[in-house]
Structure 1
Amino acid sequence: MPSRRRFLTTLGVASTAGFAGCTGIGGSKYSPGTDDTTEWPMPAYDRGFSAYNPDAAAPRDEVTERWATELSGLGPSARPVVAAGRVLVPTSGALVALDLETGEERWRHGQEQPWSSAPAVRNGTVYVGFADERAFVALDVETGDEQWRLETRGSIKAAPTFDHNYDTLFLGDDTGRIYRIDATTGDVTLRGEVFGPVTALAQGRSLLVGTESGEVYELFVHHEGFTGLWRRKVDGWVTTITTHNGDIYVGTFGGPVYRLQDGADVGSSQWEVEHGPTHLAATGRHVVGSYGGGLQTFDARTGSIDWEREGRYDAAPAIAGDTVYIGGGEKGENGNGFVEAYALSGGTGIDPLTFGGRRWRFPVESAVMEGLAVADGAVFAVTQGLDESPSRVYALESA
């Protein structure tokens, strides 16, 4: 294990236990998903941004290409979403909708260089923000027709999330404004403020907000406004907030990964891992993280590393059943990419004699960026766009 990584608890500093590649998770705790009709309706699957669907069936052994669609010079700007028969791909130039079965383009929305954020889908409607337009719009998922538009004070970079009833949306802009919006009409029903550009939102027991200035807020939402329950400073720009069953995990750019406490010790650290992953997924038992230097799986209770793999994993992970799906590769004109599947258990044995860890690897023409989605029995990934190797969307299914 690299010496630069240290495990910090609220009780003090201790070194991480175990070896990379050990069977620290145990295959018996997770089962393969069996439902091949699932969707991935939000950027990280659900309102809590867990990026984990225990029921989703997805390729675990050999894999084949269902289709691959070129994005005509557009590069990915956020993770794809899969719902209502569409694969929705945010890009530097438009939100692009592809047919789930064939990969054919059905519609696109946006002007040149709008930089769309990750969308969310509910009841036949796509909700998406555009950074350069300072706007948030609702679109018909089948046709792309605009249903309503909200002009925002600043640019929208963070993906939106829903309240517990799915009738209200929350979003934040780069001026620090928070909005509560009626999902049907687009009417703003509440406004609030935090310090710094909003970079992450998640719905836990209450609304969680992360900022570029390195702060995490939990806000109680009521008819009169947003009330701060707690506010926590972290060491780095907040890239991800992930929640599962009330647990709160925070990823930062260049800083630690945190598990934050709820209850009597709200906002304090249950554990921290220095120089941790940028992108996170959570199952309740474990946290999976990826960044440019590797893939790591942590014990959710202690923060100790169960297993890890070195590599250029710049895409955000997705978990389906008992399998972690991840993408990455070398960036640039001479780079190449891949999509991989790993057993959530990490395999059997101790590196380099670990067996059954990596289930498959599929090479692609350039680095996989932003994040993966798992739906309809397949894995969806988007590659970096280059002059000699245009950006592509891949749908991979069992061979």
Structure 2
Amino acid sequence: MPSRRSVLASIGSLATVATAGCLDVSSDIDPGTSTDTDWPMPDFDSRATSWARDAAAPRETPAERFRIDLPSPTDRPVVADGTVFLPTMGGLIALDTADGEEQWRYAPAEAAHFFPSPAVHDGTVYVTGEDPGLVALDVTDGTVKWTVESDDRMRAPPAPTRDWRALYVGDDAGRVVRVTPDGEIEWTTDVYGSVTRLVAHEPAGVFVGTTAGEVHALYDEQGVWRQPVPGKVTALAGTEGSDVYAATFGGGTLRLAGGAHAGRPRWHTPDGPTAHRSFVLAESSLFGTDGAGLTRQNHRTGERDWRLGDDYFSAPAAGGDTVYVGGRREVAAFKISGGLGIGGARFEARRWTYRFGEGSGGNPTVADGALFVPITGGEDTESGLLALE
């Protein structure tokens, strides 16, 4: 019969293994502490990671900084220098981050108008949409500085380079344009299908996703590679190297290899999240939503780590060690680590849930010490913008 000491040692070993299974490589990410972080691009940075690592944002049950009624939001707000730039069906609206007071509104047409998220840099707001193409606005009053006209709608947000030497835009005819910050067209080229997403790739390249189910890598106007994927491209995010992550409508997610591999899939997860609009890329984790919850995948293997919730569909955003997502009647905050658990069984993953009545929480933004959440109205809820802190 084994001794009492050996039995206790065995139990201790098993406990160690179980505890190890509960730990997570992302659990050492620190909370953000910066209360003046900007979110100047549609998905935070030029790689479209949607993760403001140093940004302070609500980790406990939040309070409202403000909530204001506005026309239906159409995309994620962008924040720079104390101003929220919110795209809506009634125009691009500039609001004070402290109290939501409206500063100006750009609405080029009387009819309802779709705007994607803009990009903001050095006193200029860069806006795409249905008409007339790429527009540069003065950040202080919304007056037009210059335009790059297009015969077709530009429904993809602009994609600036990391150093802001240029930004890329694309239209529904498959035309891709590289433009300098002062409006000079450096080159144009065509891809197959309407442009849905763009991600700049240094030093002079861009990844392009299309409705035709293709991802293109362009470099200095020339096509480097072209990779068919199983569906319309709904999200792109770049690695620190030359790879790109792509989400497709109904076809799962892929990691496409760059360089000499010429777009070859490193992995393909057919049942991965559609990743509505954008991913969150936080260290070894790739987050996306598809109406069936918030899913985390391992970015090296594509393996699904876990899925939480069952009704989240907004593009996620992350600040510090927390990822935020909107859904019907609420917005929620989850630990990037997924809390405790083994595999898909997770415990203590949710930080908080904030409910706001009928309607839906749209694509959130982490900036200025707060979480900015667009709201699409319902029976008892007006559309607008909610700021939580």
Instruction: Give the match's secondary structure for 1:191.
Output: strand
**Pairing partner for 2:351 from 353, 359, 364:** 359
**Pairing partner for 1:79 from 73, 76, 81:** 76
In the aligned structure 2, how far is the partner of 1:344 from the partner of 1:135? 37
Is 1:274 equivalent to 2:270 in the alignment? yes
Q: Shift of the alpha carbon at 1:263?
A: 3.0
Q: Shift of the alpha carbon at 1:370?
A: 4.2
User: Where does 1:1-399 land on structure 2 (aligned, <5 Å)?
Assistant: 23=22, 25-71=24-70, 74-110=71-107, 111=109, 112-131=111-130, 133-184=131-182, 186-205=183-202, 206-221=205-220, 226-246=221-241, 247-279=243-275, 280-329=279-328, 337-350=329-342, 354-386=346-378, 388-397=380-389
Query: Would you tell me which structure has more helix in proportion to its own residues?
Result: 2
1:208 counterpart letter in structure 2: F
Residue 7 of structure 1 corresponds to: none
Which of structures 1 and 2 has the bigger CA Rg? Answer: 2
1:220 counterpart letter in structure 2: Y
Instruction: Give the match's secondary structure for 1:88.
Output: strand
User: 2:331·2:361 contact (CA, 8 Å) conserved in 1?
Assistant: no
Identical positions, percent: 39
In the aligned structure 1, how far is the partner of 2:175 from the partner of 2:282? 30
1:268 counterpart letter in structure 2: R
CA deviations over 1:76-111 (Å, ceiling 9, x no partner)? 211111112111111122111111100111111112
Instruction: Give the match's secondary structure for 2:260.
Output: helix
- Give the stretch that moved more between structures: 267-276 or 315-324: 267-276
- CA distance 1:23–1:243, shift in 2 (3 Å): farther
User: 2:115·2:128 contact (CA, 8 Å) conserved in 1?
Assistant: yes
Unaligned runs of 5+ residues in structure 2 are 1-20
Residue 9 of structure 1 corresponds to: none
User: 1:43·1:81 contact (CA, 8 Å) conserved in 2?
Assistant: yes
In the aligned structure 1, how far is the partner of 2:59 from the partner of 2:150? 43
- Give the stretch that moved more between structures: 345-354 or 121-130: 345-354
Residue 9 of structure 2 corresponds to: none
User: 2:23·2:341 contact (CA, 8 Å) conserved in 1?
Assistant: no
User: 1:244·1:283 contact (CA, 8 Å) conserved in 2?
Assistant: no
Q: Shift of the alpha carbon at 1:297?
A: 0.5
Q: Shift of the alpha carbon at 1:353?
A: 7.3
- CA distance 1:129–1:50, shift in 2 (3 Å): same
Q: How many residues align?
A: 361
2:374 counterpart letter in structure 1: V
Q: How does the TM-score come out when normalised to structure 2?
A: 0.88
User: 2:306·2:343 contact (CA, 8 Å) conserved in 1?
Assistant: no
2:284 counterpart letter in structure 1: R
Q: Shift of the alpha carbon at 1:24?
A: 6.3
In the aligned structure 2, how far is the partner of 1:171 from the partner of 1:118? 12
User: 1:196·1:212 contact (CA, 8 Å) conserved in 2?
Assistant: yes
User: 2:72·2:383 contact (CA, 8 Å) conserved in 1?
Assistant: yes
2:248 counterpart letter in structure 1: T
- CA distance 1:284–1:263, shift in 2 (3 Å): farther
User: 1:93·1:116 contact (CA, 8 Å) conserved in 2?
Assistant: no
Q: Shift of the alpha carbon at 1:315?
A: 0.6
In the aligned structure 2, how far is the partner of 1:349 from the partner of 1:396? 29
